[in-house]
Structure 1
Amino acid sequence: MTSTSSPGSTSGSTTRRQVLARTGASVASIAFAGALTELFTGTAAARGHAGYGPLVPDPAGLLDLPRGFRYKVLSREGEPLRSGEGPVPGNHDGMTALPGRRGRIHLVRNHENRATARLGVPTVAGLTYDPAAKGGCTALELDGRGSVLAERVAIAGTAVNCAGGPTPWNTWLTCEETEDKAGTNGYTKDHGFIFEVDPAAPHRTGAVPLTAMGRFQHEAIAVDPYSGIVYETEDAFQRPFGLFYRFLPEKPLGGTGSLRAGGTLEAMRVPGVPDLSAIQETGASFDGVSWVPVPDPQAIETPIRLQDFGPQGITHAQKLEGCYWNGRSVYFVSSFARSGDGSAADHYGQVWRYEPHRRRLTLVVVFGPDTDLQLPGESPDNICLAPGGGLMVCEDGDGAQHVYGVTKRGEVYALARNAQNIGTAEAPEWGEFAGVTFSPDGDTMYVNCYTPGTTFAVTGPWC
């Protein structure tokens, strides 16, 4: 999740985002190219106007929201877990909200902790993969009024848990964004895997790596609810860049534990396109996409993206992050690309759509400023579809940090701004947002502040 600055950023200087933060501006005119209606298939019409009004500074200094919206702090790093297992870990990242019994909601939340993390996920018997690793997930159970009933460790001993994705059977696939092997950074086991987490009954899933799904710098996943195929992104911002994968399980849609039965991991090959950053025009489509079996999914000797995929090669992309299923397609995000890092071209964020039934890949949205490099809209990270229509984007860049909404006309509005200054009055800094997701009924938006780790529930006049 955490990454270097996006193209054209000016870390340390006053940015457009900081100006917006000081003025309370809610709408920015940015370059958003592409058929944004593509993103809203299967949802209600996206908002017909840009935003809910200016952001109102929060007297408590936590979260600025438009007038009429309210937030509740559900959990903060360092506070005691209600289970008594230890303190709430830090580095709150990817998250989902799953339905429970009697109207309850299960929030499962990643903690992107490395070996040096100050507040690691407490180790728990039966839920710990590698006692030397400090990442993992915690789970919150909420009642029908949004009050926290329980909070506990859901998996521990994993590393750099960045994003992931929900399954059709209401579990969470948490992804390790690392390739460290046993003996590196003090780890006692290899890392770089996906783990399944059942927030309602964590011991049911335990801490078992889904090794057939590959060992690489995982970011996010999306499950095709019709075929059970799992799509996976690889977040690599240095060459060789990451790949877009699909996993064909032996027991598709079999419920909790079915992914342990194994399957086949393949990587996407787009004819004539070795690097997705070279494509700049929205609407550009490529038919005949093929999927090439990964020679060594365990990456025993060589990272997957460096393996031999034959004379035609394979398709790479820098910073592959968000991934989600909508309608009959899977969408995935390239957060940015920089030619200075070795990409074929620069961009400030792309959203790609892959249609499995057509074997077609299309560039549907390009993020980023047109003339002012500090305008909001670059480096999209976690993305989700709002139940009432529209797109919610956690932006990962410099300066003030926002959750932005996007209408189908490409208008961008600020929905939330992090007010927790972790810098100084002279040189303010704000932690990024992550894990934006909605309750099953669409009435509440949940989102994390990465640092200081804080989980918010936001309610208001959604429409």
Structure 2
Amino acid sequence: MSATRRQILGSAAAVGAGIAFAGSLSELFAGTDAAHAAAGGRDGYGPLVPDPDGLLDLPKGFRYRVLSREGEPMLSGQGPVPGNHDGMSALPGTRPGRVQLVRNHENRHNAPRRVPAVRGLTYDPQGMGGCTVLELSGSDRVLDERVGIAGTAVNCAGGPTPWGTWLTCEETEDKAGTNGYTKDHGFIFEVGLRPGHRTIPEPLTAMGRFQHEAIAVDPREGVVYETEDAFDHPFGLFYRFLPHRPRGGFDSLRAGGRLEAMRVPGVPDLSAVTEPGTHFDGVEWLPVPDPLAKRTPIRLQDFGRGGVTHAQKLEGCYWGSHRGRGAVYFVSSYARSSEGSAADHFGQVWRYEPGRRRLTLAVIFGPDTGVDTPGESPDNICLAPGGGLMVCEDGGGEQHVYGLTRHGEIYALARNAQNTGTAREPEYGEFAGVTFSPDRRTMYVNCYDPGTTFAVTGPWRH
């Protein structure tokens, strides 16, 4: 454990959310002090304005467009839009100025609206999950909406690759014969989006079979980092996949590789670390004994003396940089000692620097977080224009997309106004899949329930 434990407390406490930052967190964010000064020192965009249509509350000057809603017919004619909108990414379209949105559907075996089974794109006919793809014009008009892959299960998040594909992750360990499935599940699949990138509906088995959440790819080394959102104790692991053909391009991951799990010496549970800025050198990576988990889930397998490091609710994952070096960031949404964690928190963001084998706690939330103020249970996460993070909230009470700035402040950018409960006992679906267009002018985000995909534009600070 490092002796460096510098801690900065932001002004988030003023809005009822307790949050602490590592002193070096500014390296994570793309914004500059000059941009911050030009904006008058403001990190947020002002209070949220109630939406008269009851869909999405945004700050003044921002507007949204509904791109897609579950149950509506897809333009491809392949069937209705599936539900349970989850992880998503925005990639360049098939023509200049266009955008392709690839969107996961976290459908379980009993989902009311499955991803339509399309010939040549379906893995397991009994799998209800998968991905859909929206092709957008430069003005965010939907030009096409089609199935990207079908017959998978519980497609939660994933991540884009440097060669322009999407890796979609199954958050389940169900085998053939369970819940009616005809094939094993718990894999990663590659979804092709460009001409010549034909989706092959077969799993990338060497990348492991477990309750996948998200991935991030090191663009220089080709290493793929993977998070595991296991539901029960002992909790999930943080993995890396060393492909036999690093940086090989489309379908190169099918050539196989080595799956390893992270071990932080002396730290069996990441929730025990509560002080931002704490870092650990000498992180180790242990080969996974049985990546296919034929008999035993990976997190329960024997890794030898010392074991591996676990964490509750490992979710969002993305590739960034720190002081000019590549780094991968990943999220633990929360930890609860009552469920088996070593300590309690309302969210962590971790940074791993491969070149230094160093793991650092960059951000921790709570315990003063309030369920009706932004800043609880971070899930999907991405870099925001002008610096900072944009985070999807997946907790109790109201649900927000909130900004997390390099200056130690938290602000609400959007609030889900779709009440699926009652006036007396309101309920709001989580946000998921926050991402920005390649030109950084539009934010796209999903409401999980009812499944809705929004495009949000406004006076972004770049």
TM-score, normalised to structure 1's length?
Answer: 0.92
**Is residue 429 of structure 2 the alignment partner of residue 431 of structure 1?**
yes
Structure 1 CA distance for aligned equivalents of residues 69 and 407 of structure 2 = 36
How far apart are the structure 2 equivalents of 1:30 and 1:410?
Answer: 12
How much does 1:26 deviate?
13
* Structure 2 equivalent of residue 261 of structure 1: 255
Q: Which moved more, 1:132-141 or 1:100-109?
A: 100-109
Shift in Å, 1:372? 5.8
After TM superposition, list the pairs within 5 Å mapping 1:340-359 onto structure 2: 340-359=338-357
CA displacement 1:263-304 (0-9 Å, x = unmatched): 000000001111111111111111111100000000000000
Q: In structure 1, the residue corresponding to 2:198 is in which secondary structure?
A: helix
Q: Which amino acid aligns with 1:461?
A: P
- Structure 2: how far apart are the matches of 1:269 and 1:308? 13
Aligned to 1:419: 417
- Alignment partner, residue 6 of structure 2: none
Deviation (angstroms), 1:406 = 1.3
Please give the residue correspondences for 1:114-153 in structure 2 after superposition, counting only pairs within 5 Å: 114-153=108-147
Aligned residues: 439
CA contact (8 A) 1:369 1:378 kept: no
Gap change, CA 1:116 and 1:338, over 3 Å in 2: same
* Mapping 1:391-406, distance limit 5 Å: 391-406=389-404
Is 1:325 equivalent to 2:319 in the alignment? yes
DSSP-derived class of the 2:258 partner: strand
The match for 1:74 among 64, 67, 72 is 67
For residues 34-433 of structure 1, the aligned pairs below 5 Å read 34-35=21-22, 38=25, 40-41=27-28, 43-45=30-32, 47=36, 48-100=41-93, 101-201=95-195, 204-327=198-321, 328-370=326-368, 375-433=373-431
From the superposition, tell whether residues 27 and 461 of structure 1 become closer, same or farther in structure 2 (CA, over 3 Å).
Answer: farther
Match of 1:21 in 2: none
Following the alignment from structure 2 to structure 1, what is the Cα–Cα distance between the partners of residues 288 and 110?
32
Cα 1:371/1:231, change in 2 over 3 Å: closer
2:14 pairs with 1:30:
no
Q: Could you tell me which runs of 5 or more consecutive residues in structure 2 were left unpaired when the two chains were aligned.
A: 1-11
Instruction: Output the amino acid matched with 2:455.
Output: A
**Residues 368-377 or 110-119, more deviating:** 368-377
Q: Once the two structures are superposed, what CA deviation does each residue of 1:288-344 show, in whole Å capped at 9, x if it has no partner?
A: 111000000000000000000001111111110010110110011111111111111
State how far apart, in whole Å, the 2-side matches of 1:104 and 1:26 are.
41
CA offsets 1:202-242 (integer angstroms, 9 cap, x no match): 97122120000000000000000110000000001320100
After superposition, the Cα gap between the structure-2 partners of 1:202 and 1:301, relative to the gap in structure 1 and judged at 3 Å, is: farther
- Return the alpha-carbon distance in structure 2 between the equivalents of residues 70 and 266 of structure 1: 44
Instruction: Output one character per residue of 1:54-105: Cα deviation in whole Å (capped at 9) or x when no partner.
Output: 1111111111111100100000000001000000000000000001222111
Aligned to 1:7: none
Moved more, 44-53 or 59-68: 44-53
For the residue of structure 1 that corresponds to 2:96, the secondary structure is: helix
Change (3 A) 1:407 1:419: same
Give the letter aligned to residue 340 of structure 2.
G
Mapped partners of 2:258, 2:415: distance in 1 = 42
Equivalent position amino acid for 1:28 in 2 = V
In 2, the alpha carbon distance for the partners of 1:462 and 1:36 equals 25
Kindly indicate whether the alpha-carbon contact (under 8 Å) linking 2:29 and 2:406 is maintained by their aligned counterparts in 1: no
Partner Cα separation in structure 1 for residue 452 and residue 242 of structure 2? 36
Letter in 2 for 1:58: D
**36 and 153 in structure 1: CA distance in 2 versus 1, 3 angstrom threshold:** farther
Q: Report if the CA contact (8 A) 1:54-1:67 is conserved.
A: yes
Distance across 2 between alignment mates of 1:174 and 1:65: 29
Distance in 1 between the 2:143 and 2:196 partners?
16
In 1: Cα distance, 2:369 partner to 2:120 partner = 54
* Amino acid aligned to 1:236: A
Q: Secondary structure at the match of 1:417?
A: strand
Q: Structure 1 CA distance, aligned partners of 2:30 and 2:80?
A: 39
Partners of 2:383 and 2:451 in 1: how far apart?
Answer: 23
Q: For the Cα contact (< 8 Å) 1:392–1:404, is it kept in 2?
A: yes
Q: CA RMSD in A?
A: 1.8
Q: Is the 8 A contact 2:277 2:361 kept in 1?
A: yes
SS of structure 1 residue aligned to 2:286 = strand
Kept after mapping to 2: 8 A contact 1:36/1:410? no
Q: Which residues of structure 1 form unaligned runs of 5+?
A: 1-24
Q: CA deviation at 1:199?
A: 2.8
Q: Is 1:27–1:414's contact at 8 Å kept on the other side of the alignment?
A: no
